[in-house]
Amino acid sequence: MQYDKSLVLDILYQISDATKIVQKRCSFAKTEDDFCNSEEGQEKLDGICMKLIAIGESLKNIDKITHKNLLIKYPNVPWKEIKGIRDILSHHYFDLDANIIYEICTTHIDNLLITINMMINDLKE
């Protein structure tokens, strides 16, 4: 089944940009407490969460556009969890755990960006 590759590429570029912003905003934090101990840290946490929501929603859109045939080609990324964190942040924001966001930023976001860039390159071929 065919899908609009240019639309998917546009979305992937947006995800790539959002991921880079998450990396930049998180770079100041040495521990999860850095998000909670200052107004600046809380503002960065809020901004990171908004980008994570956008990333998760965009991945859901890619799944819809590609009839769930693209993301499964890149099994090294926990797509379900990324889309799930979007739901948690959107619907249970006041239950937000800074430790989880810190872990996402320090442990998983680099791999996501690498994979997104790989997907972009694969689709451009």
Percent of the chain surpassing pLDDT 90: 82
Give the Cβ contact number of residue 5 at 10 Å.
14
DSSP states of 45-78 as a string? Answer: HHHHHHHHHHHHHHHHHHHHHTTT-SGGG-TTS-
Cα–Cα distance for residue pair 109/4, rounded to 1 Å:
26
Q: Which two tokens stand for residue 13?
A: 């570029």
The model's pLDDT over 35-68, given as tens digits with 9 standing for 90+, comes to 999 999 999 999 999 999 999 999 999 999 999 9
pTM for this prediction: 0.92
Helices H / strands E in the chain, number of each: 6, 0
Contact (CB, 8 A) for 22 and 105: yes
- For residues 19 and 113, give the distance between their C-alpha atoms in angstroms, rounded to a whole number: 6
Tell me the two tokens of residue 39. Answer: 């107004």
Whole-number pLDDT of residue 91: 82
CA torsion sign for 91, 97, 103, 109 is: positive
Residue 1 has pLDDT above 80, yes or no: no
pLDDT one-digit tens code per residue, 14-32: 999 999 999 999 999 999 8
